[in-house]
């Protein structure tokens, strides 16, 4: 059974008295029915964060009408804000290389409607998964990447994403470093899974690094992509315990399960507008 259509209002602004009252009074004044409400005040940055879910049919106007009428309040409090409509599916463009587990998991969740999204295409720097992706009825784009063609390749990736009208780019074990142009153009809209518990073991071969250090916990991190490798704001993380008897192959095997779950959770939080960026950190309203 699907949930009723909702409008999700998210915002951040300099913290001050009266923000909650102003937003709540505005919604109540239009007979809006709030079904979920979250807010957080960051004492370090002195910023305020809020997320409100409102039943769409409780308001006398549509999402555009909500945006238009809320604008004066947003200006008064100097808000960074947006309104999303659950009646419109988000469009996720997946990028993958040769590791299949995250791609398989996301497509299974998409096919079962666990992730209620559109996947307009999959992009890869290898042909490995063309048949699998096209079997699902999803267009597959092979865009090779080499040291000599990176600029051209990432221009094509960005063009393909734009033509697909993507809302979010998901790096499902895409083992290439995106160009600064792509990172800048899609700031806050590229979700990556990294196979370590960041900030430990950035870059390549993190399971080998972890094994060499004899760690007792390994993990995975879902984060937003920035120009600085593996340093983007963290959305979600998880760990599993390991011990001295585990080989690198064991760590890789354990880690794949964590990677799938962490990416799926982090992507869901993003799709549901539960993640608000606070500088190098995030506020996640679970």
Catalytic sites, residue numbers: 230
DSSP per residue, 148-205 = TTHHHHHHHHHHHHHHTT-SEEEESS--SPPPHHHHHHTTT-EEEEESS-TTSS-SS-
**Residues ≥6 apart with Cβ < 8 Å to 282:** 224, 233, 234, 235, 275, 276
Per-residue burial over 260-276, b if 16 or more Cβ lie within 10 Å, else e, is bbbbbbbbbbbbbbbbb
Angle at 127 between CA 264 and CA 175, to 5 degrees: 50
Residue 149 dihedral angles phi and psi, to the nearest 5°:
-120, 15
Nearest 5°: phi and psi at 193? -110, 125
């Amino acid at each position: 059974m699907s949930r009723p259509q909702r409008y999700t209002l998210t915002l951040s602004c300099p913290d001050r008295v009266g923000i909650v009252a102003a937003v709540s009074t505005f919604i109540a004044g239009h007979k809006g029915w709030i079904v979920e409400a979250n807010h957080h005040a960051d004492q370090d940055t002195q910023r305020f964060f809020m997320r409100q879910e409102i039943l769409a049919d409780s308001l006398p106007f549509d999402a555009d009408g909500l945006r238009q009428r809320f604008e004066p309040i947003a200006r008064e409090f100097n808000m960074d804000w947006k309104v999303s409509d659950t009646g419109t599916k988000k469009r996720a463009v997946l990028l993958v290389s040769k590791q299949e587990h995250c791609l398989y998991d996301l497509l299974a969740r998409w096919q079962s409607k666990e992730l209620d999204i559109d996947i307009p295409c999959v992009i890869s720097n290898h042909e490995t998964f063309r048949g699998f992706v096209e079997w699902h009825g999803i267009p597959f784009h092979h865009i090779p990447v080499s040291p000599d063609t990176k600029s051209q390749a990432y221009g094509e990736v960005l063009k393909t994403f734009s033509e697909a009208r993507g809302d979010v780019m998901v790096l499902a074990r895409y083992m290439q470093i995106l160009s600064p142009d792509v990172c800048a153009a899609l700031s806050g809209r590229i979700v990556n899974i990294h196979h370590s518990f960041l900030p430990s073991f950035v870059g390549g071969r993190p399971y080998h690094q972890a094994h060499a250090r004899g760690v007792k916990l390994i993990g995975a991190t879902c984060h937003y992509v920035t120009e600085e490798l593996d340093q983007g704001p963290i959305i979600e993380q998880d760990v599993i315990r390991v011990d001295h008897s585990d080989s690198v192959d064991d760590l890789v095997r354990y880690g794949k399960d964590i990677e799938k779950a962490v990416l799926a959770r982090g992507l869901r939080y993003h799709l549901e507008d539960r993640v608000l960026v606070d500088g190098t950190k995030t506020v996640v309203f679970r």
